[in-house]
Structure 1
Amino acid sequence: MQQTPQRTWLGALCVISAALFWGTLGPIMHILQRDTALTAIDISFLRALMGGLTLLVVARVWRPSWLHVARRDLPFFAAYGFLSVAAFFVLYATSVHINPVPVAVVLLYTAPAFVAVASWRLFGEPMSRAKVAALVFVLLGSTLVAGLWSATARHVTLLGLLVGVGSAATYATLGLFGRVALRRYEATTAMMFAFLFGALFLTPIVARDAPAILAAFRTHGVLILIMGLIPTAASYVLYTLGLKWLLPGQASILATIEPVVGTVLAWLWLGQRIDALQILGGVCILGSVLILQRDIETTAEAA
């Protein structure tokens, strides 16, 4: 779809809204891991399952035609669910487990660089100076927000590095698959099938934890439903919808406001401390968004 100033603003609004919703995930996961016997991968499975079922209900009630895809496209959606949901969720959960959390976060937010290169090669998305500057600000800001300077962040193994980069690479596939899926399907349909396939791939991994999962539903069922709705179903659909009007590289940079939102919410909800360097990192990330938004407007006006 051709970019225009009005459409790019709509796309940016969708992606930024998605990032705001994603920012609620950290505090929710913290509560679930603190109060239940769920592992990070159990929570990832519940995200995929509840996100897929939520969108299934939405499609059934709102537009039943969204429930159907062509049989020939099922392998595409299986790959979408495997890479963008199952593999990403597992790799990121593993990265957080074996790496210091600041390192896991910063490695994840190298994803915009993967997306920018892939989108340039696959979709002809231009690599402007403004976009390169935005990528630099994103990496710097993520480093500061995550607290990469701390002593605990210095203990990184080669395995941890590879897993962290793998989480970024699989996260990067979200925008690439989404861009292709939107050529034929609505965002709700695309993410519904991706989540359900992702949950299917994760089922063998979490099967032995079924008692813990059922117990968590009994005590924290409402929170699990909220997790499936806000930082999963709603956020991913909004992000994918934004790809109608933005290129994947643009969307991935805009979405990096998520760690800023997560840090602020952790401060508000959980009483976690924010220091001056984290605030500076947030300013860098917001600056990258402003740089990119101006570049998007310039590109749209020239189209």
Structure 2
Amino acid sequence: MPVRTSGSSQSGRGKGIGLGLAVGSAIAFGGSGVAAKPLIEAGLDPLHVVWLRVTGAALVMLPLAVRHRALLRRRPALLAGFGLLAVAGVQAFYFASISRMPVAVSLLLEYLAPALVLGWVRFVQRRPVTRAAALGVVLAVGGLTCVVEVWSGLRFDALGLVLALAAACCQVGYFVLADQGGDAGDDAPDPLGVIAYGLLIGALVLTVVARPWNLDFSVLTGSADLNGTRVPAWLLLGWIVLIATVVAYVTGVLSVRRLSPQVAGVVACLEAVVATVLAWVLLGEHLSAPQLAGGAMVLLGAYIAQSSAPAKGSPRPVAGGEPERDPSAHEATA
């Protein structure tokens, strides 16, 4: 009996730490758009801002990449997928979308990702979903119609809408790939190594796409307008690199390993709330009442959809195509 109590306490502490990491990650990620938009409005191309963000973070994490260089041989597909989807894809599509739409709207659309996960489970994997999950999808889609105000003839830029939805698709990859190998014990890939190489691969891909040799570096020596306040551009970039990228990814991936993609995805919805409040206060981007109601519906739908997905360790395939567990693990779970 005492041993069981000790194990339960350790498990509870582990989940508590994971929850704290997930909240910290959501707060860190939530400030990226607010810091990036003034740089874009100051003259930097959105792709150039993404390249600066990812490349700067990759340089910070370079010592960890050297330390975990064996991962290149052991898990090349995981590193490539994380770099392409979770780093380059999410950031490029999101920053491109906020250049055409308000930060809060772009991020709310990105958080349709849980509904996309359930769509994958139902129509690609051809597995049944619960009624609660279906309700979550309906709420998320209904909220989307309010956020973009379809009764106004899609007032927002259609391309911006597509870019935000593309970011949502890549975010699905972030949560699924962050959990890969998390239950493999000593053979699990080190999360810090996965992040370091993901950032390096993302930086290489973005170098080809963004062509940074055309970047106007003089913008970084000046200042950017933050709703009427002049802020040094380098300070905004430093926040994006260190807090909104390095800290955000490290805490985010560690939280997924301690919790699960489903639970971490629910907590990550706080990012949309943080970004909306910051954009309102710091950028003066006010949303209408229908948009706020729609945003609440999107987040509620995301919560229901994620919480209705199979739990970590379930014998059923996990949403998003997670590899089948070892049969002995199923027996142990049973």
TMscore range, shorter length: 0.7 to 0.9
Alignment of 1:71-110 (within 5 A): 71-96=73-98, 104-110=106-112
Q: Which moved more, 1:229-238 or 1:182-191?
A: 182-191
Please report how far the alpha carbon of residue 42 of structure 1 lies from its aligned counterpart in structure 2 after TM superposition: 0.9
Q: Distance in 2 between matches of 1:295 and 1:171?
A: 18
CA distance 1:299–1:84, change in 2 (3 Å)? closer
Gaps of 5+ in 2: 1-7, 223-232, 314-332
1:260 lines up with 2:273 in the alignment: yes
Deviations 1:270-300 (A, max 9, x none): 233244345445655665687689879x999
Does the Cα contact within 8 Å between 1:115 and 1:249 map onto a contact in 2?
A: no
Q: Distance in 2 between matches of 1:266 and 1:110?
A: 20
Does the Cα contact within 8 Å between 1:101 and 1:153 map onto a contact in 2?
A: no
CA distance 1:208–1:44, change in 2 (3 Å)? closer
Q: Distance in 1 between matches of 2:106 and 2:303?
A: 25
Q: TM-score, normalised by structure 1?
A: 0.75
Gaps of 5+ in 1: none
Partner of 1:204: 208
Does the Cα contact within 8 Å between 2:54 and 2:199 map onto a contact in 1?
A: yes
Alignment of 1:216-227 (within 5 A): 216-219=219-222, 220-227=233-240
CA distance 1:208–1:27, change in 2 (3 Å)? closer
Does the Cα contact within 8 Å between 2:44 and 2:215 map onto a contact in 1?
A: no
Please report how far the alpha carbon of residue 256 of structure 1 lies from its aligned counterpart in structure 2 after TM superposition: 1.9
Q: TM-score, normalised by structure 2?
A: 0.69
CA RMSD of aligned residues (A): 4.1
SS of 1:180's partner is coil
Does the Cα contact within 8 Å between 2:104 and 2:279 map onto a contact in 1?
A: no
Report how many aligned residue pairs link the two structures.
291
- Give the counterpart letter for 2:110 in structure 1: L
Please report how far the alpha carbon of residue 77 of structure 1 lies from its aligned counterpart in structure 2 after TM superposition: 0.9
SS of 2:154's partner is helix
Q: Which has the higher contact order (CA 8 A, sep 6+)?
A: 1
Please report how far the alpha carbon of residue 52 of structure 1 lies from its aligned counterpart in structure 2 after TM superposition: 1.8
Q: Which moved more, 1:74-83 or 1:275-284?
A: 275-284
Structure having the higher Rg: 2
Identical-pair percentage: 26
Does the Cα contact within 8 Å between 1:85 and 1:198 map onto a contact in 2?
A: yes
Partner of 2:177: 177
CA distance 1:187–1:261, change in 2 (3 Å)? same
Please report how far the alpha carbon of residue 40 of structure 1 lies from its aligned counterpart in structure 2 after TM superposition: 0.9
Partner of 2:51: 45
Does the Cα contact within 8 Å between 1:48 and 1:199 map onto a contact in 2?
A: yes
1:26 lines up with 2:33 in the alignment: yes
More helix by share: 1
Partner of 2:195: 191
CA distance 1:156–1:71, change in 2 (3 Å)? same
1:270 lines up with 2:283 in the alignment: yes
Partner of 2:21: 14
Deviations 1:118-170 (A, max 9, x none): 68999xx99555555555555555665x453573734665x766554433222
1:231 lines up with 2:244 in the alignment: yes
SS of 2:75's partner is helix
